[in-house]
Structure 1
Amino acid sequence: MAKYLISFPSAAMVVPDSEFEAVGRDAHAVIDEAKAAGVYVFAGGIDESVPPVLVSANGLVSEGGYPWAPVLDGGFTVLELPSREDAVAWAARIAKACRCEQELRVFSFDPRA
């Protein structure tokens, strides 16, 4: 089975304040279903109140992320699933719950990881 990353950037989630509680409830329900199905690995969101830092090979720390890369924020779910079709189905459930499209990626298998 492969591990799949299902994610969205913060800007993709445009939800009226009046629906935000329902989005949280619906999203947690999908995560609970993934846990019950035994496919859940982890989920969460980037804490945008904590700025990123770059750490070099010699341990030097500098403020900010890669200056040339898009901002990394939003929500992330990792599920372990038997097929891409299953991953698409779970991504659709998360998209419905979050009220925004989800990006789907597969992790390359590394036998030593």
Structure 2
Amino acid sequence: MTQYLLSMPHDSAEEPTMASMDPAELEATLAVAGAFLEELAASGALVFAGGLHPPSTAVTVDHTRGDLVVADGPYTQAPEYLGGLWVVEATDREAAIAWAAKASQALGARIEVRAFQEVPA
């Protein structure tokens, strides 16, 4: 089976975190996210899931030219950033899209679906 990355973008103008959310909104979000994760896990499709801290907390490491350079902040600036992700195993693209549709509906967010590359046989 192919593994797919289902990713949820966030607007870069905002950097929501669980700590900054209204407690009632956080509780509701965790409930729907938890229900989606339980369904994924029960189906056997879930490989891994997680939410990321905003880009302002990133560190960029570059050791490509001899000297190690460590810089606070993200490598790129963009209007959106990766806020959360799921790695799922699915029989095909359509099955991965079906999981993304459930995540989108549950969390009220757009979800991007991308397959992991596989080494050619």
Which TM-score bucket, shorter chain as reference?
0.7 to 0.9
Please show how residues 52-71 of structure 1 align to structure 2 within 5 Å: 52-57=58-63, 58=66, 59-67=68-76, 69-70=77-78
Please show how residues 46-57 of structure 1 align to structure 2 within 5 Å: 46-48=52-54, 51-57=57-63
* Unmatched runs of 5 consecutive residues or more in structure 2: 13-21
Q: Which has the higher strand share?
A: 2
The answer on 1:7 being equivalent to 2:7 is yes
User: SS at 1:10's partner residue?
Assistant: strand
Q: What is the match of residue 83 of structure 1?
A: 92
The RMSD of aligned alpha carbons is 2.6
Amino acid at match of 1:35: A
Structure 1 CA distance for aligned equivalents of residues 105 and 26 of structure 2: 13
The answer on 1:22 being equivalent to 2:31 is no
TM-score (norm 2): 0.74
How far has the Cα of 1:49 moved from its partner?
A: 8.0
How many positions carry a matched residue from both structures?
Answer: 108
TM-score (norm 1): 0.79
Moved runs in structure 1, 4+ residues, more than 3 A?
Answer: 17-20
* Unmatched runs of 5 consecutive residues or more in structure 1: none
Compared with structure 1, are the counterparts of its residues 96 and 42 closer, same or farther at alpha carbon in structure 2 (3 Å cutoff)?
Answer: same
